[in-house]
Each structure stands twice: as C-alpha cells, then as structure tokens.
Amino acid sequence: MTVSDRSIKDAEEAGERLLAEHRSDDPFAAAFKATRMPMIITDPRQADNPIIFSNAAFSTLTGYAREELIGRNCRLLQGPQTDKAVVAQIRAAVEDERSLAVDVLNYRKDGTPFWNALFLSPVRSQAGDVIYFFASQLDFTRMKERQSELAAARSLAEEEVARRTKDLRDALEAKTLLVHEVDHRVKNNLLTIASILKLQARLTRDDTVRRTLHSVLGRVEALSTVQRKLFTTADVEHFDGADFARDLATDMIGAVRRDDIELTFNLSPVLIPAAKASPLAFILHELVADAVRRGLGDGGGKLHLCVERLNGQFHIEMRDTAVARDAGGEEQDFSRMILETCARQVGATITREINGSETVVDVLLPVDSHGEGKTS
C-alpha cells in the first residue's frame, strides 16, 4: 500500500465515521447529499486537509467522480489562471480556523474554468477543536461574464462619448479659428482702407479733398474702434457698449489736440449685440463729431458722456458746452443723414435739448431683454 493509497483510505474511513454519526434517515445528511448546492467536507486533522466527503452537486459542477475527490486536497480545482493571492487567502483562513467567503477561478476535470463563489467554514467539536471544514461552492461564471460584458459595453460607450466630445471640441476650435481668421481679415481691410485714405489725404494739395478724405477716415476709424471690441471675449455675439463709447470719444477728442476740452464719463457696462456694432459706432461718431464741429474744436469746453442700461434699453447721454449753433453746410447735412439712417436701422430714438449753454443729446436703443440676448 503506497502513502497515497493509505491517505485515501484514511479519508474514506473518516468519511464513514462521519456518516456513522448520522442515521441514514438523518434529514441533515440527506439534505447535504441531495442539495443542488455543491458542497464538500474536509478533515484538517489529516495530513494536507483532504476531502472526506463530497455531494453529487459537487461532482456535477467539477466533473470529478466522488472516488476521484476523496483523499485529495481542494487544490486540484486550481489552474493556470487561478489567482495566487486568493489561494493564499484560503490557506490562511484554514490555518487561522476561520470562515471565508471569496471568489476564485477554478477548473473542472476537463480543464474548463469556472468562477467559484467559495464559502469556507470550520466545524468545531463540543470541546471547541476544529474537526472539519465545510465548503460550499457557487458557479457564478455567467454573472461574471455579464459583468465583464457590461464593463466592456460601458468602456465602449465611454470611448464613443470621448470620441464625440473630441469631435465637438475640434469643431468648436475650428469655428473659433475661423472667426479669428475672418476677424483678422476684417481688421486688416479696415486698416488698409484707412491707409489709402490717409495716403491720399497726405498727397493732395486741395484742402477740400483733404477735408473730405478725413471726414470719411473718421467714419472708417469709428468702425475700426468698434471692430477692436468684437470677439475679445468668449461671448462673440456681444460687446460692451460703454467700453466702446469711452474708447471712441477718447480717441476723437484726442485727435482734436486741444488741452481745453474736458472729457468726462459715467459708464456702466452694457452688452450690445455684435450685429448692431456698426450703426452704433456711426451714431456715436456723428454725435461727438457734431459737438466738435459746433465749437469744441474751436473753443474747447466740456463733454460728458453717460452710458448705462435704462429700463431695459441702452441709454447714451451726451452733454456738451459747445456753442449751440448749427454749423450748417454739406458736412452737417451728411452727418445728420448718417445719424438718422443708423438710428432707424437699430430702432433708436434720439432727442436733443438745449439748456442755456449746455446741449444734451439722449439716445435710447432697445436691446433684447433676454439677458441682452441674441441678435434678432
């Protein structure tokens, strides 16, 4: 008799002893044998903790006949992909004589793997000694597969979302680049137009021609000033009307080159749709130019500009101390035509009042009430 034969014999005998403790009509033993839950009992007091009892469900699960199991250690279920760390956990639980629930990859007799939800528990004698280990198994391969299918589906979905997000981001970036490219061209064109006017104004010997060119240049520069305000923030559809008004008035009064013009402001930010930029630029330009023509340019004085939101409208108030006289002439008529046309375009109302030495001009421009929202 070999060592191995001997130990199998010992295990068989231990199993028989265990059975002998129970009558054949013991409902617990019957349940153990008949349950569809695969179960085994091992004997830790024998060398290498062999299986001394296994039920039919265990044989169905693993493909091993009862005779092939008795006397063997449970490690016969291990295979190449079995996690060594889990095996170590099981061994530690046995050595420490405590229960353990753990998921382990096991192998059937035919070599096919299955996921085993193993529950292991020591059985103690009345004296408290561990006399058996009881282990139940549950094949949850299908669940595991479904889990990994779910994980795979999730990762696919995540990849798809990432891909589409990137597409969107790329499209947005392309749009931003395009806006900046167009903006760059508009700016260069405005400056080229201004350059041509300036070059010709420099060359001409005729004062009337020079004055006319400068009058056109002034309006082109008003467009230039407003163009600089566009697309400067993430909100490409709006610009700050107050910021623009300050820049325009500062530049125009600065161009008069007089120290005796006192320019003051009272500004609060007002978002204006970009689509209204050009007519608004002209309206402001004509108003300031008019004050300069009426007398600021000849005799100095005060100019106060207030820009605010008033009852959901964009409100500009300009007060000046220029002599309230009608400058008359072609330039004056032309300026009025531009002013009225632009006011009509944006639905602005312009009122002019003369209080003694002060001229007060009010401009009310409706802006979309929805958060000074979209262009119409």
Q: Shortest gap between Cβ of 357 and other proteins (angstroms)?
A: 27
Contact flags string 207-226 toward other proteins, x per CB under 8 A: ----------x---x--xx-
Number of chain positions touching other proteins (CB under 8 A):
26
Q: Do 115 and 141 contact (CB within 8 A), yes or no? A: yes
* Residue from the set 131, 194, 324, 360 that interacts with other proteins by CB under 8 A: 194
* 192 near other proteins, rule: CB under 8 A: yes
* 191 near other proteins, rule: CB under 8 A: yes
How far apart are alpha carbons 49 and 74 in whole angstroms? Answer: 8
Q: Shortest gap between Cβ of 82 and other proteins (angstroms)?
A: 58
* 49 near other proteins, rule: CB under 8 A: no
* 187 near other proteins, rule: CB under 8 A: yes
* 254 near other proteins, rule: CB under 8 A: yes
Q: Do 191 and 224 contact (CB within 8 A), yes or no? A: yes
Q: Do 249 and 263 contact (CB within 8 A), yes or no? A: yes
How far apart are alpha carbons 287 and 92 in whole angstroms? Answer: 92
Comparing CA positions, the residue from 345, 337, 343 lying closest to residue 364 is 343
- Whichever of 44 and 218 has its CB closer to other proteins, that residue is 218
* 289 near other proteins, rule: CB under 8 A: no
Q: What is the dihedral of CA 235, 236, 240, 241, to 10 degrees?
A: -150
- Whichever of 252 and 361 has its CB closer to other proteins, that residue is 252
Task: For helices 329-346 and 207-229, give the axis angle rounded to 10 degrees.
Answer: 20
* 227 near other proteins, rule: CB under 8 A: yes
* 188 near other proteins, rule: CB under 8 A: yes
* Residue from the set 243, 247, 331, 372 that interacts with other proteins by CB under 8 A: 247
* Residue from the set 183, 237, 317, 368 that interacts with other proteins by CB under 8 A: 183
* Residue from the set 9, 142, 180, 374 that interacts with other proteins by CB under 8 A: 180
User: Phi/psi at 137 (nearest 5 deg)?
Assistant: -125, 150
What tokens appear for 7 in the block?
Answer: 């130990």
- Whichever of 39 and 223 has its CB closer to other proteins, that residue is 223
Amino acid at residue number 103: D
* Residue from the set 168, 255, 275, 354 that interacts with other proteins by CB under 8 A: 255
* 252 near other proteins, rule: CB under 8 A: yes
* 251 near other proteins, rule: CB under 8 A: yes
* Residue from the set 34, 92, 182, 196 that interacts with other proteins by CB under 8 A: 196
Q: How many CB atoms lie within 10 A of CB 107?
A: 19
* 202 near other proteins, rule: CB under 8 A: yes
Q: Shortest gap between Cβ of 181 and other proteins (angstroms)?
A: 10
Q: Note the residues at the interface with other proteins (CB under 8 A).
A: 180, 183-184, 187-188, 190-192, 194-196, 198-199, 202, 217, 221, 224-225, 227-228, 247, 250-252, 254-255
